[in-house]
Amino acid sequence: RKEVEQDPGPFNVPEGATVAFNCTYSNSASQSFFWYRQDCRKEPKLLMSVYSSGNEDGRFTAQLNRASQYISLLIRDSKLSDSATYLCVVNNPGGSYIPTFGRGTSLIVHP
Amino acid sequence: GAGVSQSPSNKVTEKGKDVELRCDPISGHTALYWYRQSLGQGLEFLIYFQGNSAPDKSGLPSDRFSAERTGGSVSTLTIQRTQQEDSAVYLCASSAFQDFPGLAGSSYNEQFFGPGTRLTVL
């Protein structure tokens, strides 16, 4: 099993739709979780951190489920500009400061 | 303020040649990472520098790859005797080292990525 797994998609949704992605991780001791966004032919940029209690930033909501070892990202009222690849990032304990990136989930929002 | 910069933005080389890729991290960031990303693929970790500590080279795919970080700032990734499979976008990222008290072994802060160097080996 890969350390961090994501459905590559693409998720093809109309404007205004609600879409959710999951990301599973294999190390139950993982401590820190993040979502990054990567636009086509651009570098990744931090979208939001994922806290145990869940967190919300405008139309974006991130959740952590430790029991099932996954994190989720929910996007409400999708915009054309949300089209991008969403990367799940997991940081593990044990002195390693090297985060593990998932391969990303592609989202396409169409008119 | 200035972000992470990388040069060149594009590099086309012939198989067997050596190439050097440069990364200028954000001033004050002690952590520096190199990744590569092939078309449609995820980020592949290559090497990690943290302050004056020995770098973590566990991701380097072969001994043709090496990296240096001079003075705790600028880093250079060198690929010797390039092969066609080395073609990819090479991304550099830096972050401010931060410990999270109470979370043993967990230390991570936002990574800021440079725009990457697109390497094509003919």
B102 touches chain A (CB under 8 A): no
Burial class (CB in 10 A: 0-12, 13-18, 19+), A102: buried
CA quadruple A98, A102, A103, A107: dihedral sign: negative
A45 touches chain B (CB under 8 A): yes
Question: Residue A96's pLDDT is what?
Answer: 60
User: Which residues of chain A does B113 touch, with a Cβ-Cβ cutoff of 8 Å?
Assistant: 43-45
Question: Residue B106's pLDDT is what?
Answer: 44
Minimal Cα–Cα distance from A79 to chain B, Å? 23
- The tens digit of pLDDT for each residue in A50-65 reads 888 889 999 999 999 9
User: Which residues of chain A does B104 touch, with a Cβ-Cβ cutoff of 8 Å?
Assistant: 93
- The tens digit of pLDDT for each residue in B50-86 reads 888 889 999 999 999 999 998 879 999 999 999 999 9
What 3-state DSSP class applies to A81? helix
